[in-house]
Amino acid sequence: RHPAASGRPTGRREDSLGTDPGAVVRVRFAPSPTGFLHLGGLRTALYNYIFAKKHQGSFILRLEDTDQTRLVPGAVENIEDMLEWAGIPPDESPRRGGPVGPYQQSQRLELYARATEALLESGAAYPCFCSPQRLELLKKEALRNHQTPRYDNRCR
C-alpha cells in the first residue's frame, strides 16, 4: 500500500533521524539581517529550537549577511535580541560564539574559498562560464521538448 494512502506522512519519519545512533542534532536558523525579525521568522526559529532541544541538540543562529547592500543597521543585534526575548536563545551565534564560527556568512568567505579550491583541485567541481541567458535557453528548450532540464556539460 502507498504510504500516502495510509494517512501517514511520506516525508522522513522522526524515528529515522539518522543512521548513526551517536549523531548529534544541529539545526540552524539563518535569517538575512535585511530588516527586523518578523513573526514568521520567529515561528521558524521556534520550530528549530524545539526540534533541537527535543533531540538534545544545538540551535544555531547563522546570519546570511552577504548582501551588504540590503543590510539594515541594527538588524543583526535585533535578531539575536528578539530570540533571547522570546525565550529561544541560540546555543551558538555571532554574539555567543561557538566551535564552528564565525556565525555571520560574510565572515566565512575565506572558508568557502578554501572549500571551493579543494573541490576544484580534486575534480569534484569545475568552473562554468555559461551566461544565465544560455542556461535559461537550455531549460526552455528542454521543457518545450517535454524533457527534464539538464546541464549539457559544455564547460566540463
Domains along the chain? 24-107 (3.40.50.620)
Mind listing the pLDDT tens digit of every residue in the chain (156 residues)?
Answer: 344 444 444 444 455 555 567 789 999 999 999 989 999 999 999 999 999 999 999 999 999 999 889 999 999 999 999 999 999 999 999 999 999 999 999 999 999 999 999 999 999 999 999 999 999 999 999 999 999 999 999 998
Contact 63, 31 (CB under 8 A): yes
pLDDT at 9: 44
Which strand (E) or helix (H) includes residue 48? helix 39-54
Joined together, the cell numbers standing for residue 43 give 515561528
pLDDT at 106: 93
CA 91/CA 53 separation, integer angstroms: 10
pLDDT at 54: 95
Question: Alpha carbon of 74 to those of 45, 80, 154: distances in Å?
Answer: 19, 11, 45
Side chain identity at residue 142, one-letter code: A
pLDDT at 15: 53
The answer to whether the Cα torsion of 18, 84, 69, 40 is positive or negative is positive
CB count within 10 Å of CB 83 equals: 24
